[in-house]
Amino acid sequence: MEQTPEDRKINPQITELEIGVRDLRKVKLYPLSLGDQLELSDIIQQGLTAFFQIEQGNEQSLAMFTGHMFTLVKENIGRLIGLLALDETDTNKVLKEITNTQIEEAVRIIYRVNYAPLKNLKGLLGEPKAETD
């Protein structure tokens, strides 16, 4: 028996996001799967590793880090857009339509839906107790 739209549960974590350079259109932003969260975390970790490897106050190292970050983003932008879990499957089309401000909003939504709940898990587990001799 096929389900009707009323029978299906709608995921409350699905968010609508408006994108567009000239004309805005709504796209759905779905929550990340655990696998996608781990993949996104790997990309972020690559950037953070490069950041912490620069020498403090060394302008040449800062320039190298900036170059590394631009390369990292450029090489992974299609993958990153794909990880956004938009209902749009053509990542090149999204890249041509989404602005920096709109991608920033998407990142905020992704953090709120996918990563902010992790702090609740930490609270649930409680702080580790210090062992006394």
pLDDT tens digits for 41-96? 888 888 778 777 766 556 667 777 778 777 887 887 777 777 765 777 787 888 88
The answer as to whether 130 is a domain residue is: no
Q: What's the whole-model pTM score?
A: 0.66
Share of the chain above pLDDT 90, in %: 9
Domain of residue 86 covers: 16-116
Alpha helical stretches, state H, 4-85: 34-53, 59-83
Number of domains in the chain: 1
pLDDT digits (tens, 9 = 90+) for 91-124: 788 888 889 899 889 888 888 888 887 666 666 6
Please tell me the distance from the alpha carbon of residue 83 to that of residue 33, in angstroms, as a whole number.
Answer: 9
The answer as to whether 66 is a domain residue is: yes
Name the nearest CA neighbour of 38 among 115, 91, 108. Answer: 115
pLDDT at 114: 82
- Is 15 within 8 Å of 29 (Cβ atoms)? yes
Cα–Cα distance list, 112 to 10, 44, 59, 107, 118 (Å):
18, 16, 34, 9, 10
Instruction: Say which residue, 34 or 64, is predicted with more confidence.
Output: 34
The total number of residues written for the chain in this structure? 133
